[in-house]
Amino acid sequence: MAALWTKISAVLPPSEEQFPLQFSDKVESSVVEMLRRSRQQLYVHTTKNSQILNAQIILDFSWEKLNMGTWRDVDKEWRRVYSYGCLFKAAALCQEDPSAEEILLAVKTCDMGLLMGAAIMEDILQVIVRILQGEVRKSAKEEKEREYPQVKRSKFEPPRVPVIKEEQAVPRIRCPSLESFNTNYLLPLRPVILEGIIDHWPALNQRPWSIEYLRSVAGCRTVPVEVGSRYTDEEWSQTLLTVNEYIDRYIEHKDGGKAVGYLAQHQLFDQIPELKEDIRLPDYCCLGEGEEDNITVNAWFGPGGTVSPLHQDPQQNFLAQVVGSKYIRLYSPEDSDKLYPHQSQLLHNTSQVEVENPDMDRFPKFAATPYLDCVLKPGEVLFIPVKHWHYVRSLELSFSVSFWWS
């Protein structure tokens, strides 16, 4: 695998002098010294272990800075330092004939930099992770074909599909014009399901999304996963897993466990550009005032039974369903007082009520509050107007893409 290091060094600056390391005063000079040492080690022969050690020192120090205070307060310079640490560690792992495990660790390291760091050297971590994924796929093909593991199918339990009553169903419309969507739904802030507007997505056509497809495109990549029934529960937590690990454990339940894990609210398409190629920005977003760059695109991938508690968001939302189906209920912001939002600063946009099993004694006004609901199926896009309360439960394996725009 000496060829791997050749590919990596080809994308690095040709010499130490041409390798930029500029930071503001916020970064202590002792840290800059460690960064300089790591940079030097790329161009002067040093042991792999020594390089990894130095890179880890940079990572540990900057990681502590990233965890001090709230994420918003973290100075971008420390995220850059963290990314440099990831770069040096990944580069070190790729030297001297790396094993398959080392290559996977290098991918994970790049992912940590992409998730927690800030772009450096023209997004070099993206460039490197693409090279590494190429190596991973190559060696996967070269390996003897693994026995295809028997996917444990749990006893088939049909999902609780709620009956949608027509008088409270979210209205549907097929391929409306920009003008008609604007007039009838955006301006009056009325929810609607748009049909036919994502039929052209490669994710539904040439490269249909499936478990196998996701494993092949992103299996070795590390992503954040929410563990626990809902984010308002005490046992709820977040963890980092590779896509393969997530699917093994929380979709296919290979370990026999029953815990719920949800790959939720993650900007997967920034992290894995190949997947971005499979979707398109809905044209209707141009009706907003915001810039296209400010549109947040999130992936929502999980098994049946994932629940997003009733909550509201500060932006308009197009929720596009690609795989599987979801039950969604919507309440108007005018009825907020009947939805008993949490008092705390952290959760004031979330209702205390369990929508499909409300506590009538604690929340008496809830039962009579009007709502709209639907079962959103593949190819459909739900328009959730800004501040509209929404509750989502997946009915089966599901992959949705949300677009938050203004």
Partner 1 sequence: MRWFGFGFNAFGQIYDHDKLSKSEKIGTDEDVKVSSPLELTTGTDCCSKSVRIKASWSRRASLHLGGESCLCLAGFGAVTSTESSGALIKHSRGCTDVYISESYLTLAFPDRVEAWDLQKEEKTPSWSEEIRSQSETSGPPLSLPLVSGGYIAMKPPLYRSLSPHLKAKSLALSAAHAILLTASGAVFTWGLGSHGQLGHGGLTSEEEPRVVEALWGMSMTSVAAGGWHSVCISDGGDLYVWGWNESGQLGLPSRGLRKALQQQESAGASYQHTGKTTADEQQEGEKNEEVFISIQAFPALLDVTPSCEVKTVSCGSRHTAAVTSKKSHLTFDVTMANLGTRIWSVQMSHCVWSSSKKSRCVLLM
Kindly state the smallest distance separating residue 104's Cβ from partner 1, in Å. Answer: 10
Residue 69 or 196: which CB sits closer to partner 1? 69
Count of CA atoms in the C-beta half-sphere (13 A) of 401: 25
Question: Looking at 53-61, 365-373, 375-383, 396-404, which segment touches partner 1 (CB under 8 A)?
Answer: 53-61
Question: Looking at 55-63, 165-173, 304-312, 352-360, which segment touches partner 1 (CB under 8 A)?
Answer: 55-63
Helix or strand (DSSP H, E) at 310: strand 307-311
Residue 33 or 292: which CB sits closer to partner 1? 33
Residue 54 or 95: which CB sits closer to partner 1? 54
Kindly state the smallest distance separating residue 301's Cβ from partner 1, in Å. Answer: 18
Residue list 245-284, contact with partner 1 (CB under 8 A):
245, 249, 255, 257
Residue list 95-154, contact with partner 1 (CB under 8 A):
99-101
Instruction: Confirm or reject binding of residue 33 to partner 1 (CB under 8 A).
Output: yes
Instruction: Confirm or reject binding of residue 34 to partner 1 (CB under 8 A).
Output: yes
How many other CB atoms are there within 10 angstroms of residue 193's CB atom?
21
Residue list 70-89, contact with partner 1 (CB under 8 A):
70
Residue 48 or 207: which CB sits closer to partner 1? 48
Instruction: Confirm or reject binding of residue 48 to partner 1 (CB under 8 A).
Output: no
Kindly state the smallest distance separating residue 245's Cβ from partner 1, in Å. Answer: 6
Residue 177 or 345: which CB sits closer to partner 1? 345
Residue type, 119: A
Residue type, 352: Q
What pairs with residue 327 in β-bridges? 375, 393
Give the DSSP letter string of 99-163.
Answer: -HHHHHHHHHHHHHHHHHS---TTTHHHHHHHHHHHHHHHHHHHSPPPP-----PPP------PP
d(CA 400, CA 377): 10
Kindly state the smallest distance separating residue 17's Cβ from partner 1, in Å. Answer: 14
Choose which of 12, 35, 41, 89 interacts with partner 1 (CB under 8 A).
Answer: 41
Residue 261 has φ and ψ, to the nearest 5°, of: -130, 135
Q: Is the dihedral of CA 64, 69, 72, 74 positive or negative?
A: negative
Choose which of 15, 18, 24, 29 interacts with partner 1 (CB under 8 A).
Answer: 29
Residue 149 or 314: which CB sits closer to partner 1? 149
Q: Which residue has the tokens 């629940």?
A: 307
d(CA 198, CA 285): 13
Choose which of 9, 46, 349, 369 interacts with partner 1 (CB under 8 A).
Answer: 46
Instruction: Confirm or reject binding of residue 387 to partner 1 (CB under 8 A).
Output: no
| Radius of gyration of the chain measured on its C-alpha atoms | 24
Kindly state the smallest distance separating residue 147's Cβ from partner 1, in Å. Answer: 13
Residue 46 or 296: which CB sits closer to partner 1? 46
Kindly state the smallest distance separating residue 222's Cβ from partner 1, in Å. Answer: 12
d(CA 378, CA 386): 23
Kindly state the smallest distance separating residue 327's Cβ from partner 1, in Å. Answer: 29
How far is CA 68 from its chain centroid? 23
How many other CB atoms are there within 10 angstroms of residue 101's CB atom?
9
Q: Which residue has the tokens 């509201």?
A: 312
Instruction: Confirm or reject binding of residue 22 to partner 1 (CB under 8 A).
Output: no
Instruction: Confirm or reject binding of residue 14 to partner 1 (CB under 8 A).
Output: no
Instruction: Confirm or reject binding of residue 349 to partner 1 (CB under 8 A).
Output: no
Residue type, 106: A
d(CA 185, CA 191): 7
Instruction: Confirm or reject binding of residue 40 to partner 1 (CB under 8 A).
Output: yes
Q: Which long-range contacts (CB under 8 A, 24 or more apart) does 311-314 make?
A: 311/349, 311/350, 311/351, 311/389, 311/390, 311/391, 312/336, 312/349, 312/387, 312/388, 312/389, 312/390, 313/349, 313/384, 313/386, 313/387, 313/404, 314/349, 314/386, 314/387
Instruction: Confirm or reject binding of residue 6 to partner 1 (CB under 8 A).
Output: no
Q: Applying CB under 8 A, which residues contact partner 1?
A: 25, 28-30, 33-34, 37, 40-41, 46-47, 49-50, 53-54, 57, 60-61, 64, 67-70, 99-101, 241, 245, 249, 255, 257
